[in-house]
């Protein structure tokens, strides 16, 4: 007997596709919820935004494209098989800031404390690889309890892989870190390897070992805030460059910084339309230098009067305040600014100031950002504290950075430029492209009083000899007569002169001798 097989009933393909897509969207929504509403509410109660809220404020509206939102950890030990979350504690992808491409990752503290797993690390590595491939910056929003203990060495390997990628990307694409919660143990070294690090006051912390370990090992009783809070790292350690009152201000600060930076090391310098006249002359600059050489003035005011729209984005304003570094624009073009600050220690260079400036100079040189140096420096800071702690070694870093830099280097001496500090501060001898001085400049081995004590120690009329020395060296004419200055200019014309020279130097092309890398005195 012939049996007939009944064809099974088939549902329309569209129905199957819809059901499948519905399951996918359900899983996507789970990823968007992170660790759940309760934990997101807890995050808000601490004054913190969630990982996705942060990205929505950092990036242009609707520009974010996410990677790997369905990724889960693969750990099945210690009950972890029941603790799987879509996305696994970090949100990754790319977007734009003011229309310019950027890759991002944002750690989600609501998912297992934002701890780093193997899968989690692979997500971060993927966006870093993509950033290198397409030549775009990377911004990391850090909010993590550290290594995921349940994964053991896999978590440590994840950190190591990220460190390696940070180093390979260094000098190729800008890398920026924003600490928005805890960042402890091995986790701190990735931000430390990036170019600029920002923190949020009261809610972000960085330390290699936390207060509990410190208490056990050293018997010191210290809070998280004092050990590794924003104030500590922006004023004492110099680990962080800027701090902000809350998440919203910090994310806006990151957007502002991003605007000054090229996308990669072969990109053109960001240039915005400039409504500040190139030939604007500020007569206040003609009288800003006090007649008494021992009276201080604010170099930051000088910088702001010269750059476009008086807008100066200062880096590390609370650390090593005797030197200013930061970004501004001249004729719409981004420039890096290094300036002695006479208000603090008369602008003398010490260890922290040397390292702060050297690191900034090397960043600008890596990304072809021209350097403008404003000089009023009496020398290096004297004293056994500085000498014994290595002022020679740290000062050499600043020398090295300026000597190595091949970007356009423009230098303006406003008042004092004494001794070795004159040489170090982007002098003509260190391949300065355009070196000028104001009429108030003094270029000498040391001040007149100190010189007279040495040179005319036994002279019967030491006072008159001091005046003679002062008359000879208290003007920039001797340096100009030897070609060490390109010109002596009126202070009011500084802005115009610098913009003219920047335009001239756009085609500058010099190369250092080939080497694998130099040996900077670290």
Q: Given phi > 0 = left and psi -120 to 50 = alpha, else beta, which region is 232?
A: alpha
- Is residue 240 within 8 Å of 198, Cβ to Cβ? yes
- DSSP letters, 56-114, are HHHSPTT--EEE-TT------STTGGG---TTTTEEEEEEEETTEEEEEEEE-TTTGGG
Enter the DSSP assignment of 237: I
501 closest CA partner among 288, 327, 278: 278
Q: Which helix (H) or strand (E) holds 141?
A: strand 138-142
Q: For 88, phi and psi rounded to 5 degrees?
A: 55, 40
420 has catalytic annotation: yes
Beta strands 333-340; 323-330: pairing state: antiparallel
CA distance 163 to 125: 10
Residue in 316, 421, 444, 451 annotated catalytic: 421
Tell me if residue 87 is catalytic: no
Residue 114 zone, left/alpha/beta (φ > 0; ψ -120 to 50; rest): left
Catalytic residue (choose from 152, 171, 186, 450): 186
Q: Which of 89, 93, 181, 185 is catalytic?
A: 185
DSSP state of 322: T
Active-site residue, 518 included: no
- Tokens representing residue 339 in the block: 């300036």
Q: Which residues pair with 197 in a beta bridge?
A: 177
DSSP string, 144-204: ---B-GGGTHHHHHHHHHHHHHHHHHTTTS-EEEEE-SEEEGGGGHHHHHSSEEEEETTT-
For residues 7 and 5, give the distance between their C-alpha atoms in angstroms, rounded to a whole number: 6
186 is catalytic: yes
> SS in 3 state form for 424-486?
HCCCHHHCCCEEEECCCCEEECCCHHHHHHHHCCCCCCHHHHHHHHHHHHCCCHHHHHCCCCC
Q: Which of 68, 105, 104 is nearest to 86 (CA)?
A: 68
H or E element at residue 323? strand 323-330
List residues with catalytic annotation: 185-186, 420-421
């Amino acid at each position: 007997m012939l049996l007939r097989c009944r064809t099974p009933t088939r549902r329309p393909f569209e129905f199957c596709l819809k059901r499948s897509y519905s399951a996918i969207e359900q899983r996507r929504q789970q990823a968007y919820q992170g660790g759940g509403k309760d934990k997101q509410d807890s995050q808000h109660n601490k004054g913190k935004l969630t990982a996705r809220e942060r990205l929505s404020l950092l990036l242009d509206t609707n520009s974010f494209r996410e990677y790997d939102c369905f990724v889960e950890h693969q750990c099945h030990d210690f009950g972890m098989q029941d603790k799987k979350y879509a996305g696994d504690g970090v949100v990754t992808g790319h977007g734009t800031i003011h229309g310019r491409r950027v890759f991002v990752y944002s750690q989600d503290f609501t998912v297992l404390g934002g701890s780093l797993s193997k899968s989690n690390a692979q997500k971060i590595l993927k966006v870093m690889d993509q950033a290198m491939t397409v030549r775009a910056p990377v911004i990391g929003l850090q909010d993590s309890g550290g290594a995921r203990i349940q994964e053991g060495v896999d978590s440590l390997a994840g950190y190591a892989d990220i460190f390696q990628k940070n180093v390979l990307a260094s000098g190729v694409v800008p890398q920026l870190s924003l600490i928005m919660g805890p960042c402890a143990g091995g986790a701190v070294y990735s931000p430390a390897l990036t170019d600029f690090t920002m923190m949020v006051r009261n809610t972000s912390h960085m330390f290699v070992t936390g207060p509990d370990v410190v208490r056990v090992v050293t018997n010191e009783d210290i809070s998280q805030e004092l050990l590794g809070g924003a104030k500590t790292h922006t004023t004492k350690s110099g680990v962080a460059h800027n701090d902000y009152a809350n998440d919203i201000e910090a994310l806006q600060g990151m957007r502002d910084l991003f605007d000054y930076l090229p996308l990669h090391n072969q990109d053109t310098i960001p240039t915005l339309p400039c409504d500040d006249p190139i030939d604007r002359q500020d007569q206040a600059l003609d009288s800003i230098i006090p007649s008494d050489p021992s009276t201080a003035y604010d170099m930051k005011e000088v910088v702001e009067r010269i750059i476009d729209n008086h807008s100066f984005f200062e880096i590390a304003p609370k650390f090593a305040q005797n030197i200013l570094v930061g970004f501004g624009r001249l004729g719409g073009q981004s420039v890096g600014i290094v300036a002695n600050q006479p208000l603090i220690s008369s602008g003398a260079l010490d260890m922290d100031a040397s390292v702060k400036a050297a690191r900034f100079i090397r960043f600008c040189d890596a990304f072809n950002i021209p350097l403008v140096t404003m000089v009023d420096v009496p020398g290096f800071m004297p004293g056994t504290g500085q000498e014994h702690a290595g002022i020679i070694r740290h000062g050499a870093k600043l020398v090295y950075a300026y000597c190595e830099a091949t970007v356009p280097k423009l230098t303006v001496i406003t008042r004092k430029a004494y001794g070795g500090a004159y040489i170090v501060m982007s002098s003509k001898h260190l391949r300065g492209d355009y070196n000028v001085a104001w009429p108030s400049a003094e270029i000498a081995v040391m001040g007149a009083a100190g010189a007279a004590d040495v040179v005319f120690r036994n002279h019967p009329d030491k006072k008159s000899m001091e005046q003679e020395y002062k008359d000879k060296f208290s003007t920039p004419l001797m340096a100009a007569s030897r070609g060490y200055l390109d010109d002596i200019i009126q202070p009011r014309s500084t802005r115009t002169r610098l913009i003219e020279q920047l335009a001239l130097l756009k085609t500058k092309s010099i190369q250092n001798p080939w080497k694998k890398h130099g040996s900077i005195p670290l």
